[in-house]
Structure 1
Amino acid sequence: MVSSSHEAMHRIFQEDPGIFTRTFERLGIPFPDAVAVSFPPTDLTEIKPLERRLDTLLQFDTADGRSYLLAVEAQGKKDTEKHSSWAYYMSYLYAKYRMPPLLLVVCQDEATSQWADRPFHIGIAGWQTLTVRPLVLGPGKVPVITDPAAAAEDIPLAAFAAITHSKNRQADIILKALSHALRTTDAETADLFKELTELGLGTTPAAQIWRDLMAIPTHFFRSETAEKVRDEGRVEGRVEGRVKDIVMLLGLRGVEVTDTVRERVAEASDEATLDLWFRRALTVDRAEDIFADPAD
């Protein structure tokens, strides 16, 4: 039976696919940023009555016109049968979609992580016909996030880190940082990652710590005082994110962004203005044209 912890470990990638590239960039293994992400079917069953199903399957389309598949598997313990399953998944995905498949295995304990983080060879001594080399995220690779401000900057990663480090001796500090971060975001996002974190912690002692932290009345998240405190950080974060989006979008479209344009966008603080510039960045041929007077 699939556990709630297993479910949460890969569902976070469904909620925020970008967590994949952000995390591996920190580890010094850069992958191209995606301009689009889609969700192909996870059912890899053939005509024969043998069911094979991935946890999560994502398709990343990059700015240079290339695409690749990311199969995410949550692994709770060592299981030698998984090697043949993973080999099947990768071969099947390549044969069906004709694009490079990557296998990402996420683990909550270091022993399983180290077991999975080894290439698996199919063949005979001296001649390997097929090698499966997973990307692995476990406690040794996922950052420990204990600073509430850092957690608020990337809540999906903070939630994933909290789940991954559920057995860490600093679990209470990690979870407190995440709980504070959730108070800086909107109620819908807070509820989603509150639930995913609880599912991911499963039956570990950290689960009780999380339940105690979440025992704070939920009206706090919606009270007038909390809303004012939250809005200050939330607006600042949205503005900063919109500035980055405008510059990135222009660059992805091949529009040259001068230092003057970059500085003017960075100095803006009005959300409505930045939203207008973002919409214009979708179509302009010159970066300067995003600042055009509406009367013109």
Structure 2
Amino acid sequence: MVSPPHEAMYRIFQRDPGLFSRIPRFLGVDLPRPVGATTLPTDLGETGLVLHRVDALLRFNTAESGAYLLAVDIQDERNSERPASWAYCTAYLWKKYRLPTTLLVVCQDHATAEWAQRAVSSGPSQLPTLTLRPMVAGPHNMPVITDPDEARADLVLAGLAAVTHAAAPAVNPILKALSTALRDVPADIADPIVEFTARGLRRHPAKHFWRSLVAVDLTPAGPRLLENMREEVRAESERQCAAEDVLTVLAERGLDVSDQARDRINGCDAPHTLSRWLRRAVTAPTTEAIFDADE
């Protein structure tokens, strides 16, 4: 089942599978245009390996070269654990589906993009058994679309441009061009783009500007979509508070919390699971013990 934070990305790629064939031209890569897209589960690995997941996973079919998989991961900061996880995910997908697998990392600042696009090898330099080279979309190579006509010509790409430039000064003009372009666009087309953009901006101040644009420019759909975004923000805030409660209890008890455990707690989007971990955190002998019954 697709979790709510990732649903908009799925809907974007499902509605416009050709988006991925348009992105690589900014990366200097030529790929065949997909003619169809199928969503696949994003939790990768055996039971308990919940840290291995991506933000979206789709199977693309092409008329020229058959099928391949696209794994998409939105990375808003450098994380030393992610390259190993990316390598695991791509190898696992290759083995499970027997299809070529492509990894696209979407970044929102230059430093993270520069870090993400570095090749990483699993072995020593003399014996690089497996080398990971993800494609990276970020502010360094995604277009700055500030013309409403240009945005209207490719609404999905304009939404992605806004997300990748979320931390840049140009983000507000991009968002204004996108909201203007979305006027009078049917709701079944506009809704996924509005949601995708809102989710991509959720950790950046530009999210407030986007909400105001949605409310003003996208009437009568604006108020309804704005309320949906408010509900999502409230849910995300509650989830973050629940994760912080778990970490606070562990810290108060003097238990060591590894980076991997912290990422697992902060990345959990299931309220019932966070509540269960909080109860266990009160008596667990170690941080890892709060996960034991879930393994």
Instruction: Describe the SS at the equivalent of 1:197.
Output: helix
- Following superposition, the deviation at residue 7 of structure 1 comes to 7.5
Describe the SS at the equivalent of 2:200.
helix
CA distance in 1, matches of 2:125, 2:176: 51
Q: In the alignment, what sits opposite 1:55?
A: 55
Instruction: Tell me the distance in 1 between the aligned counterparts of 2:5 and 2:61.
Output: 29
Query: Once the 2 structures are TM-superposed, how far is the Cα of residue 9 of structure 1 from its aligned partner?
Result: 6.5
Change in CA separation of 1:213 and 1:64 when aligned onto 2, cut-off 3 Å: closer
- Report deviation, 1:124: 1.7
Q: Are 2:181 and 1:159 aligned?
A: no
Q: CA 1:149–1:100 in structure 2 vs 1: closer, same or farther (change >3 Å)?
A: same
Distance 1:219 1:130, change over 3 A: closer
After superposition, the Cα gap between the structure-2 partners of 1:197 and 1:89, relative to the gap in structure 1 and judged at 3 Å, is: same
Q: How does 1:1-296 map to 2 (within 5 A)?
A: 12-46=12-46, 49-51=48-50, 52-216=52-216, 218-219=218-219
CA contact (8 A) 1:74 1:105 kept: yes
1:147-172 CA-partner distances (Å, limit 9, x unpaired):
10010011111111112112222222
SS of residue in 1 equivalent to 2:84: helix
Residues 5 and 77 of structure 1, relative CA distance in 2, 3 Å threshold: farther
TM-superposed CA distance for 1:145, in Å, is 0.3
Larger Rg: 1
**Letter in structure 2 aligned against 1:157:** L
Measured in 2, the distance between the counterparts of 1:79 and 1:6 equals: 20
Kindly provide the amino acid, as one letter, of the partner of residue 75 in structure 2.
Q
* CA deviation map 1:260-287 (0-9, x unaligned): xxxxxxxxxxxxxxxxxxxxxxxxxxxx
Contact 2:180 2:217 in 1 (8 A): no
1:71-118 Cα offsets, whole Å, 9 max, x none, are 111111111111111111111111111111111100111111110011
1:266 maps to which residue? none
1:293 maps to none
Once the two structures are superposed, residues 171-220 of structure 1 have per-residue CA deviations (whole angstroms, 9 ceiling, x without a partner) of 22111100111014113322332232222211422222222222327545
Determine the structure 2 residue equivalent to 1:226. none
Alpha-carbon spacing, 1:191–1:33, altered in 2? closer, same or farther (3 Å): closer
What CA distance in whole angstroms lies between the structure 2 residues aligned with 1:217 and 1:23? 27
Counterpart Cα distance in 2 of 1:219 and 1:8? 20
Offset of residue 11 of structure 1:
6.3
Contact 1:119 1:131 in 2 (8 A): yes
More divergent stretch after superposition (35-44 vs 8-17): 8-17
Unaligned ranges ≥5, structure 1: 223-296
Distance 1:195 1:94, change over 3 A: closer
For the 8 Å contact 1:6–1:76, the answer to whether it is kept is no
- Taking only aligned residues, the RMSD between alpha carbons, in angstroms, comes to 2.5
C-alpha contact 2:14 2:37 (8 A) present in aligned 1: no
**What are the superposed Cα offsets for residues 219-245 of structure 1, whole Å, 9 maximum, x if unpaired?**
4569xxxxxxxxxxxxxxxxxxxxxxx
> What is the Cα deviation at residue 144 of structure 1?
0.6
8 Å Cα contact 2:18-2:35 kept in structure 1: no
Given the two structures, how large is their TM-score scaled by the length of structure 1?
Answer: 0.67
Cα distance in 1, alignment partners of residues 102 and 12 from structure 2: 17
Q: CA deviation at 1:15?
A: 4.6
